[in-house]
Structure 1
Amino acid sequence: MRLVATRIGFLRAINLGAKRKFPKASIIAAVEAAGFTDVETYINTGNVRFDTTLRSRAKIEAALEEAFAAEAGFAVPTVVFTPRELKAIAEEAASFGHSGRHYVSLLKQTPTAAAVREVEEAGSAEEVAKVGGRAVHLLLGANYHEARLTNAAVEKHLGVATNRNLTVIRELADRWC
């Protein structure tokens, strides 16, 4: 008997503009076509929970990316976490005591110590990055809409990442962990 494990996938750069539309129903169809079961999505920003017998995160991400490309017609980088990992990211956020805008960039790969230093040093008094494992907490001030410390800046230093606000991260942790 093969053991089934729950995983949570975060799709990068979907539903941005007219050419990257990927509705929830199509995401579910693609995840099921990849062989995963008990699929559920949350809001239309690319958050999906599913069960799998695969153990390798890299194999899960590759299977999802192949299925998403086939269904959507464009590449959809995907970052996968276990429920335990997602819950830890949500819990870690409370330790920062930040009352401003809080976003979390979810990384495909674990960054090197040198890369972590680079992204954390790129911040300022109004924009702070705190890296923990494959999550980068972006703590932004009142002018968050003008921030230089964005997911694009994170990707420049740390590779493929997708970004969610802390409210979504907490909601997903409550629902799926």
Structure 2
Amino acid sequence: MPTYLAFLRAINLGAKRKFPKDRIVAAVEGLGWTDVRTHINTGNVRFDCPLESRAEVEAALEEAFRTEAGFEVPTIVLTPAELREVAEQAAAYGHEGNHYVSFLKDEPPPEAVRALEERSTADAVARVGSRAVHLMLGESYRGASLTNATVEKRLGVATNRNLTVVRALVEKWCS
């Protein structure tokens, strides 16, 4: 049975978008899917399910999450191999500062990728690899010229994780 990793967008931000790990697990298990695990309370979940289409998995999760949480929860699904590839891309960039990854729901068109990457500066660099945007920043995410909001405006629905979390998930779930 295939294993998937889901990244939930915009949960546990403020008082109205609370969606604790135990309720995420209940929603995924409610679909009949197995070996459900979460990592920290920012919407990272691993599970096995019989579906083989990423779009079908995302749609089923989004419906289950809407029912359980009471609000829309955009969800981006990757395979363990895809997440490993993202971590390998990050290592190839060799950036030692603040490094974030925005996971994209859909693969963006080349002209949109080019336009985003052209917004790079000495203090904020964007590199797109398939459905992952690497944001390599200087001092801080706050006030950076390239953020997940910039990514979403140009490339569509995305959710952001720092590289420390990405590496932890690869170690924990992709070995």
TMscore range, shorter length: over 0.9
Residue 100 of structure 1 deviates from its aligned partner by: 0.7
3-state SS, counterpart of residue 150 of structure 2? helix
Relative to structure 2, which stretch is displaced further, 55-64 or 88-97? 88-97
Paired residues of 2:97 and 2:137 also in contact (CA < 8 A):
yes
Q: Could you say what the CA RMSD is over the residues aligned between the two structures, in angstroms?
A: 0.7
Residue 122 of structure 1 deviates from its aligned partner by: 1.5
3-state SS, counterpart of residue 125 of structure 2? strand
3-state SS, counterpart of residue 45 of structure 1? coil
Q: Which amino acid aligns with 1:57?
A: R
Is the counterpart of residue 100 in structure 1 residue 122 in structure 2? Answer: no
Q: Which amino acid aligns with 1:35?
A: G
Is the counterpart of residue 5 in structure 1 residue 2 in structure 2? Answer: yes
Aligned length: 174
Q: When the two structures are superposed, what TM-score results if normalisation uses the length of structure 1? A: 0.97
Paired residues of 2:141 and 2:147 also in contact (CA < 8 A):
no
Aligned to 1:161: 158
Is the counterpart of residue 133 in structure 1 residue 113 in structure 2? Answer: no
For 2:148 and 2:60, how far apart are their aligned partners in 1?
24
Aligned to 1:112: 109
1:70-115 deviations in Å (ceiling 9; x for gaps)? 0000000000000000001011101111111000000000011001
Paired residues of 2:98 and 2:140 also in contact (CA < 8 A):
no
User: Which of residues 134, 138, 143 in structure 2 aligns to 1:146?
Assistant: 143
For 1:47 and 1:165, how far apart are their aligned partners in 2?
12
Following TM superposition, where does structure 1 have runs of at least 4 consecutive aligned residues deviating by more than 6 angstroms?
none
Relative to structure 2, which stretch is displaced further, 56-65 or 144-153? 144-153
For 1:31 and 1:98, how far apart are their aligned partners in 2?
35
Unmatched 5+ stretches in structure 2: none
Unmatched 5+ stretches in structure 1: none
Q: When the two structures are superposed, what TM-score results if normalisation uses the length of structure 2? A: 0.98
Residue 35 of structure 1 deviates from its aligned partner by: 2.4
Paired residues of 2:36 and 2:48 also in contact (CA < 8 A):
yes
- Trace 1:30-45 onto structure 2 (pairs within 5 A): 30-45=27-42
User: Which of residues 18, 22, 44 in structure 1 aligns to 2:19?
Assistant: 22
